[in-house]
Structure formats: C-alpha cells, structure tokens
C-alpha cells in the first residue's frame, strides 16, 4: 500500500462551478479506470438533487442517500454495485430530503466517508454545478480537488469562482485542473495556460494541469448507450486520456498535493520524491 493510500479511502473530488462541462463523465470513467487497475473504488454522487451518475454508469440503484439519513444505516449499506464492481452511493432526483440538507448533515456525511475504507481504496466525489456550501462541504474533505474546465469564458468564470470559494472558505491551496473537450494536447495546454493566467491575477493558490480529455464522438456514443467510454471503447482517444489522468493523480508517481504552499503558482509538475 502506497503512502497516498495510508488514509483510506483516498478521496478525489470533481468540481467545475459550471454545469455540463463533463464532471460526471470524468468521475464515472475515473472510478472505472481505477477499479480496473485493481483498486476498490466507490463513487459518491454529491449532485444530491439532480443525481445522474447512475445513468452515466448504467447502474440501477435500489437505495439512495435518503436511505442513510436519520437512521443507523451506513453509506456502505446503501451502495449499489455498478460495472466492474464499482460501488455507487447514489443521490436522488428532486427529493426534498436531499435538496436542502443542512450543513450539519452534509458535514456528518462527509465525515463518514472514511467508514467506507473496507469497501473503497478510492472514493470519487462527483459534485453538482454551483459554488454553494453543498459543494464546499463535500469537496473540502477530499485529498485531491479536480477542477474541470472547457475552453470557453463562462466555464473559466465559474471554475474561477469555484476555486475562489474553496480557497477562501476551506483554505484549499492546491487544485488539479482537467481540461475537457480539447482538439489535441496543445489545445489543452493553451486552455490551461489562459485559465491559470486569469486565476493568478487574483488568487494565490497552486494550479496544476493534470490532464486534457479530447472532444470525442466515442464519448458521446458511450453516453447514449449508458456504457462509460473506458469500458465500451477503451482504445478511443477520450478513454486513453481518462486512463492517463487516473495514473497521474494516484499511486506512487502521482503529482504530489501540496496544500501547505500558497506560493504563487509553482510552475510545472513535480515527481514524487
Ligand atoms: N470529452 C467529451 N467529448 C464529447 N462530449 C462530451 C465530452 N465531455 C462531456 N461531453 C458532453 O457534455 C455533456 C455533459 O457532461 P456531464 O459529465 O454530464 O457534465 P457535468 O457533470 O459537468 O454537468 C455530456 O452529456 C456530453 O454530451
Ligand atoms: Mg454532473
């Protein structure tokens, strides 16, 4: 077991501020890529009101987070077995109980993530759009905070707002940026550079570019078929990029997370020492 996994589950949150930029698809495929690499993986659908990870994954949850509220039921007990054995902790759709969870309850749920250790080496947390405290409560407990952006102004603004809130209210200093829907790697680099330049004007936190996912017709096809692309088209450009992302943020050679350093944007990625 690597150092990174000493406190299980190792939690990876996926946020963006803006909706529709690919959080859920990245979360689901990341979970499957890690499970296929031999890890035990759980996925928490923190989009409590408009949950859809189960649809993207092609799973059929009989229980949702509602079943764990107010009772002595653990998250592990409500988990649904998804493809490859990934455990899905499903949110709800328009369920009043989940739409206005109190901060205390969210905090309690986030604290209970560690109880998933027997069934999960990794926990992927798929968050909703927005920058409200429901996002902050679940993201702040994660070991890694992924921010998904696409190369358009609205996505930049919302991702910036998301980073700002997490930085200012939860003291997060390290963000892993994933650029989605790119033409090629150079395009991904360019989008990252432009995004970082904007953020650097106003915030002192570290942004790292951990991956670019191509715009891919195979991805669209897989979404239509409710069969995630790393399973249905593992040789596609998007699937290979998602596999590479999984490797870059986990394991002994992952880019290190340095929450301590609020230095101005340390350049490039470092290798684990
Ligand atoms: N890499 C990609 N290539 C092609 N289409 C994509 C890609 N990523 C996302 N999409 C499109 O964006 C939509 C929204 O993705 P989703 O993961 O649900 O976003 P979010 O969770 O951020 O709201 C998908 O249904 C798909 O149509
Ligand atoms: Mg989503």
Question: CB atoms < 10 A from the CB of 83, how many?
Answer: 20
The minimum-distance atom of ligand 1 relative to the CA of 26 is: 17
Measured from CB, residues less than 6 Å from any atom of ligand 1 are: 16, 19-25, 180-181, 213, 215-216, 219-220, 223, 238
d(CA 29, CA 43): 10
Percent of the chain scored above 90 by pLDDT? Answer: 75
DSSP letters for 143-192: SEEEEEE-SSHHHHHHHHHHHHHHHHHH---EEEEEEEEESSHHHHHHHH
Indicate if the pLDDT at residue 266 is higher than 50. Answer: no
Instruction: Give the start-to-end residue ranges of the domains of the chain.
Output: 7-249
Query: In a mutational test of the pocket of ligand 1, which residue from 13, 20, 135 has the highest number of ligand atoms less than 8 Å from its CB?
Result: 20
- Is 23 within 8 Å of 67 (Cβ atoms)? no
CATH superfamily, domain 7-249, is P-loop containing nucleotide triphosphate hydrolases (3.40.50.300)
- Is 120 within 8 Å of 81 (Cβ atoms)? no
3-state helix vs strand vs coil in the chain, percent to 5: 45, 15, 40
Indicate if the pLDDT at residue 228 is higher than 70. Answer: yes
Q: Give the length of the chain.
A: 273
> Closest-lying ligand to the alpha carbon of 53?
2
Determine phi and psi for 210, rounding to 5 degrees: -105, -5
Atom 8 of ligand 1, nearest CA residue? 22
pLDDT grade for 243, boundaries at 50, 70 and 90? very high
Mean pLDDT along residues 81-101: 90
What's the CA-to-centroid distance between 5 and ligand 2, angstroms? Answer: 26
The minimum-distance atom of ligand 1 relative to the CA of 181 is: 1
The encoded tokens of residue 174 equal 């390290």
The DSSP element (H or E) to which 211 belongs, if any, is strand 206-214
pLDDT grade for 261, boundaries at 50, 70 and 90? low
3-state SS assignment for residue 209: strand
**Could you tell me the strand order of the sheet in which 174-182 lies?**
80-81, 87-89, 41-45, 122-126, 10-15, 144-149, 174-182, 206-214
- Is 169 within 8 Å of 258 (Cβ atoms)? no
pLDDT single digits (tens) 13-64: 999 999 999 999 999 999 999 999 999 999 999 998 889 999 999 999 999 9
Atom 14 of ligand 1, nearest CA residue? 20
> Closest-lying ligand to the alpha carbon of 19?
1
């Amino acid at each position: 077991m690597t150092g990174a996994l000493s406190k299980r589950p190792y939690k990876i949150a996926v946020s963006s501020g803006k909706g529709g930029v690919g959080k859920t698809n990245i979360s689901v495929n990341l979970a499957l890529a890690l499970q296929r690499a031999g890890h035990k993986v759980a996925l928490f659908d923190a989009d409590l009101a408009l949950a859809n990870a189960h649809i993207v994954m092609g799973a059929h949850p009989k229980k949702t987070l509602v079943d764990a509220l107010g009772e002595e039921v653990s998250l592990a007990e409500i988990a649904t077995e998804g493809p490859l054995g990934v455990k899905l902790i499903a949110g709800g759709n328009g369920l009043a109980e989940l739409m206005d969870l109190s901060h205390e309850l969210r905090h309690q749920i986030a604290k209970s993530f560690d109880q998933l250790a027997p069934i999960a080496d990794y926990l992927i947390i798929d968050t909703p759009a927005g920058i409200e405290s429901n996002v902050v409560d679940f993201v702040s407990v994660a070991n890694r905070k992924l921010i998904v952006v696409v190369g358009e102004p609205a996505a930049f603004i919302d991702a910036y707002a998301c980073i700002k809130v997490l930085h200012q209210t939860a003291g997060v200093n390290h963000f892993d940026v994933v650029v989605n829907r790119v033409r090629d790697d150079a395009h991904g680099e360019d989008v990252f550079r432009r995004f970082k330049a904007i953020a650097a004007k106003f915030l002192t936190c570290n942004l790292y570019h951990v991956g670019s996912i191509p715009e891919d017709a195979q991805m669209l096809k897989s979404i239509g078929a409710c069969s995630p692309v790393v399973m249905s088209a593992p040789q596609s450009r998007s699937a290979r990029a998602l596999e590479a992302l999984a490797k870059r943020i986990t394991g002994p050679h992952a880019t290190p997370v340095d929450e301590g350093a609020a230095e101005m944007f340390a350049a490039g990625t470092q290798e684990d020492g």
